[in-house]
Amino acid sequence: MPAGKQKIKFVFVTGGINLNYFNFVNPQPTENIPFTKITAQTSEDGQSIFLYLNKAVTTNQDQIDIGDFTAHVSSEVINVFGVTLMDDNKTLLLQLSSPVYYGNAVTLSYSGSSVLNDQENLEQFSGFSVTNMLPVRYTLPAKIQAEGCSENNGFEWENCEDTGGGLNSSYANAGDYLDYRVYVTNTGTYSMNYRLATERTNAEFIVLSDQSGSFIPLDTIKVTSTGGWQEWKTQQSAVQLPEGRYTLRIRVKQSEFNLNWFQVQKASGIEKKNM
């Protein structure tokens, strides 16, 4: 840490932590501290790894040997094909030959001598854990809570009186939508079970996906009145889902209905029905 006034920032990656105070003890001159890694995390698009170091890198960027670095993603070796020294000179951006996905366990190893702080080599390391920063993506089949969306455009949330509690979407107006990032492991027909409540008799929504680069309709659901805004029934349909990683969108065609959750299951011979 350089001399002078500094601002300290704590970032809590997961919950369940209380912080009372912190202090600094036994300060040492920078030259007495080994040149080493601090932490590492993926980029949000999964294409790169940020490696944070405790001292500035003085090696020219074009002299850093990318072969000194190796990433492992869920036990698979992933090569580093490019490296960028960031403006603070303490962060290396390592470009990966294959992307990281949500849920992957990622480690990083360094076994070379090309990263220097003056004449000091960066300490070698192996199997260093990399924090996966990819946003949540649901592997289908799965049951997904309405509030687990990656984007909410127009809905409000309210306490749900259905079994299990939690929240439900509400005040659905035409054009409002909820997005959910999903990973479909196998192409096929899937049953879609929607947990719905409404007093309306003409509510309707469209299910879309963006696997082709733009959102295309998969199904249109006409919501049957359940008799109240907290009177819950499950309505079932079927859609054809291709394998891959993409976004499912639930978009309101005609208001108004509440959604608690929806469940995607591998199925055959499923017809639209209420339960």
> CATH 2.60.120.260 spans which residues of the chain?
138-274
The C-alpha R_g of the chain, in whole angstroms, comes to 25
CB atoms within 10 A of CB 246: 20
> CATH 2.60.40.1220 spans which residues of the chain?
34-130
- State the DSSP code for 131: B
Q: Assess whether pLDDT exceeds 90 at residue 210.
A: yes
Per DSSP, the three-state class of 67 is: helix
pLDDT tens per residue, range 250-269:
999 999 999 999 999 997 65
pTM for this structure? Answer: 0.81
| pLDDT for position 146 | 98
d(CA 272, CA 26): 69
- State the DSSP code for 86: -
Q: Assess whether pLDDT exceeds 90 at residue 35.
A: yes
Please name which of 68, 93, 96 lies closest in space to residue 83, comparing C-alpha atoms.
93
- State the DSSP code for 147: G
Q: What is the CATH number of domain 138-274?
A: 2.60.120.260
pLDDT tens per residue, range 108-166:
999 999 999 999 999 999 999 999 999 999 999 999 999 999 999 999 999 999 999 99
- The share of the chain scoring above pLDDT 70, in percent, equals 97
Q: Assess whether pLDDT exceeds 90 at residue 92.
A: yes
Q: Does domain 34-130 have CATH number 2.60.40.1220?
A: yes
Per DSSP, the three-state class of 30 is: helix
Amino acid making up residue 11:
V
CB 220 within 8 A of CB 253: yes
